[in-house]
């Protein structure tokens, strides 16, 4: 694990944490009230006519190191949040905020204790586990023309993530009062979130009122692990290809972001772990070779 930095006041005086949380939440929601954005808030039971993208994740992770009761509690919490998200419309010009959408989801049915990170440590807290919902939604949003306004990576991955088609590095951690997931609809299309559950999985879909001209593919490249300051880190670059639906030709491929997080669990045996400077030099060398080859090809042409 990486070395711990300077302790926060709430780590030294834990009894101040509830007051700090209340303060942060008050400013958090006040900021959204006066930021000039129109936030999505309309739910519609009937699905829009076109399904743009769908994905699903397993619900029960057996690799957390904690009692499985917290996985059951997480599923309970996800289903409460889903009631506020399922059918939510994102109309042209509107912004989706995860926390604004689920702010009162537990008003009549309280959340249970699930796994969450508090003061930099993995533990249990009421409402824990909702990151699985934000992770899923982020993956779905990446397969649309919606613009990401706010997204945060996990600082530390404390246990292996259950993945279906998603590459490493595709996640969106949330923390009410601190970190949100926001996307803006800058198109003339209306989008709709749909969520459902079976015994083992959560499914997320994005529907639209008209067929967009493009589809999207997401790929993780240059996955590497390195040691630094006593910790092990994962680094990966996330790319997106835009494909013309009519011709099925790739119009563009762009780097969305490079994801970096600390690893808090034992990596599989045989995983190559280098040093950051060695990895950076290797990548620079690879780019230099590609550059020289491109020059030679231009001269030959």
Q: What is the pLDDT along the chain (301 residues), one digit of tens a residue?
A: 444 556 666 566 665 667 878 888 999 999 999 999 999 999 999 999 999 999 999 999 988 888 999 999 999 999 999 999 999 999 999 999 999 999 999 999 999 999 987 666 788 889 999 999 999 999 999 999 999 999 999 999 888 877 777 899 999 999 999 999 999 999 999 999 999 999 999 999 999 999 999 999 999 999 999 999 889 999 999 999 999 999 999 999 999 999 999 998 899 999 999 987 665 655 555 444 444 444 433 333 3
List of E strands, 28-161: 38-39, 42-43, 50-58, 88-90, 94-97, 113-118, 121-126, 147-150, 156-157
155 vs 244: CA distance, rounded Å: 35
- Using alpha carbons, list the distances in angstroms from residue 174 to 97, 130, 171: 11, 8, 10
Gyration radius from the chain CA atoms: 21
pTM for the predicted model, two decimal places: 0.86
204 CB-side CA count, 13 A: 25
188 φ/ψ angles, rounded to the nearest 5 degrees: -100, 15
Domain residue ranges in the chain: 9-215
Grouping H, G, I as helix, E, B as strand and the rest as coil, residue 224 is: strand
How many residues can be counted in the chain? 301
Residue 157 burial class via C-beta count within 10 angstroms: exposed 0-12, middle 13-18, buried 19 and up:
middle
Cβ neighbours for 239, distance < 8 A, ≥ 6 positions apart:
218, 219, 220, 221, 253, 254, 255, 256
């Amino acid at each position: 694990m990486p070395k711990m930095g300077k302790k926060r006041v709430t780590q030294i005086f834990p009894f101040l944490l509830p007051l700090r949380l209340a303060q942060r939440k008050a400013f958090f929601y006040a900021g959204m009230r006066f930021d000039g954005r129109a936030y999505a808030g309309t739910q519609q039971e009937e699905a829009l006519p076109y399904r743009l993208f769908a994905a699903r994740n397993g619900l029960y992770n057996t690799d957390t190191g904690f009692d499985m009761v917290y996985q059951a509690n997480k599923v309970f919490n996800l289903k409460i949040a889903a009631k506020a998200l399922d059918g939510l419309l994102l109309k042209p010009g509107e912004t989706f905020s995860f926390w604004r959408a689920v702010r009162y989801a537990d008003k009549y049915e309280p959340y249970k204790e699930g796994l969450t990170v508090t003061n930099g440590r993995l533990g249990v807290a009421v409402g824990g586990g909702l990151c699985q919902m934000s992770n899923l939604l982020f993956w779905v949003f990446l397969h649309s023309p919606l613009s990401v306004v706010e997204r945060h990576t996990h600082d530390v991955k404390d246990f292996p993530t259950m993945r279906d088609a998603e590459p490493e590095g595709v996640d969106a951690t949330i923390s009410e009062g601190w970190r949100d997931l926001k996307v803006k609809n800058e198109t003339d299309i209306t989008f709709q979130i749909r969520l459902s559950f079976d015994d083992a999985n959560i499914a997320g879909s994005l529907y639209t009122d008209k067929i967009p001209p493009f589809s999207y593919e997401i790929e993780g490249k240059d996955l590497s692990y390195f040691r630094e300051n006593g910790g092990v880190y994962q680094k990966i670059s996330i790319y997106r290809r835009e494909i013309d639906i009519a011709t099925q030709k790739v119009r563009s491929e762009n780097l969305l972001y490079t994801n970096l997080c600390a690893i808090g669990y034992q990596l599989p045996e045989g995983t190559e772990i280098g040093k950051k400077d060695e990895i950076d030099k290797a990548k620079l060398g690879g780019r230099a070779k590609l550059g020289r080859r491109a020059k030679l090809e231009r001269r030959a042409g």
